[in-house]
Amino acid sequence: MNQSEEKIRIENVSKIFDIGKGNTIQALVDINLSVYNEEFVCIVGPSGCGKSTLLYLIAALDRPTSGRILVEGELVTKPNPKVGMVFQPDSVFPWLSVRDNVAFGPIIRGVPEEQVRWITKNYIEMVGLQGFENSLPRQLSGGMKKRVDVARAFANNPDILLMDEPFGALDAMTKEKLQIELLRIWDTERKTVLFVTHDLEEALVLGSRIVVMSRAPNTIQTVLDVPFERPRDLLLKTSTEFQQMRRQLWDLLK
């Protein structure tokens, strides 16, 4: 597939919530954005600026009030199996083992048993959970459950992955470990990723572009290119260039 292929196209999208008694909330105002094949785009912006709403619209969990969204050239009207999601609360099934959680999507999609076994093994190893295949989610730490979540998302082989502050609830160390793992997985899998975070360093470490959103109006303020070479690791954070970009982002968000 061509890297210049447009995977997500957001055209003049606005979202107004009717909150009753004639009151409305302008959750998104005139959003225009294209995300191309194999891009890793991060979205940052203050709380309430519409980041989650935008992902919900792309995932077809809600509809824009005006404007339109295309995924792989098709108008978004219903949830698309090619679009995977990882949100902040864990979506792991508490009654299923790690192995069965990861295998769940492929089984539902009718992937042959032999292949399900291979996929499950592959992604459990990729997120470093080998040895925990039979564990139940309640026997795992928050970071490990997040790993299951990430493995589940990739095991579904989506073309596009929407991630809404997936590591937001984790402690700093666990978060860094998962960032490294996500970088590594993405280097081999090259999905198109749209990743929401309020952590500027996370956006700079992971993203190829950063969409900076503003609050009131809830719209795109600017889009930055992140020039750091790949493969990346967390040493990147110590470079002068990184710190300069961090400051630039910080100034934009102030």
Ligand X SMILES: Nc1ncnc2c1ncn2[C@@H]1O[C@H](COP(=O)(O)OP(=O)(O)O)[C@@H](O)[C@H]1O
Q: List 111's β-bridge partners, or say none.
A: none
Which does residue 27 touch among ligand X, Mg ion, none (CB within 5 to 8 A, set by kind)? ligand X
Pick from 88, 85, 86, 108: which is nearest to 96 by CA?
108
Pick from 184, 187, 215: which is nearest to 38 by CA?
187
Pick from 154, 246, 147: which is nearest to 193 by CA?
154
Query: Residue with CB nearest Mg ion?
Result: 52
Query: Is residue 49 part of the contact set for ligand X (CB under 6 A)?
Result: yes
- 43 or 111, CB closer to ligand X? 43
Which residue among 14, 37, 53, 179 contacts ligand X (CB under 6 A)?
A: 53
Query: Is residue 50 part of the contact set for ligand X (CB under 6 A)?
Result: yes
- 51 or 99, CB closer to ligand X? 51
Which residue among 11, 17, 97, 189 contacts ligand X (CB under 6 A)?
A: 17
Residues 44 to 63 in contact with Mg ion, rule: CB under 5 A:
51-52
Which does residue 14 touch among Mg ion, ligand X, none (CB within 5 to 8 A, set by kind)? none
Report whether 58 contacts 211 (CB < 8 A): no
Peptide bond into 217 cis (omega under 30): yes
Q: How far is the CB of 178 from ligand X (least distance, A)?
A: 20
- 52 or 101, CB closer to Mg ion? 52
Q: How far is the CB of 157 from ligand X (least distance, A)?
A: 27
Query: b/e per residue, 57-79, with b = 16+ CB within 10 A?
Result: bbbeeeebbebebbbbeeebeee
14 CB-near residues (< 8 Å, 6+ apart) = 26, 28, 29, 30, 31, 64, 65, 66, 67
Positions in the binding site for Mg ion (CB under 5 A): 51-52
Positions in the binding site for ligand X (CB under 6 A): 17, 19, 25, 27, 45, 47-53
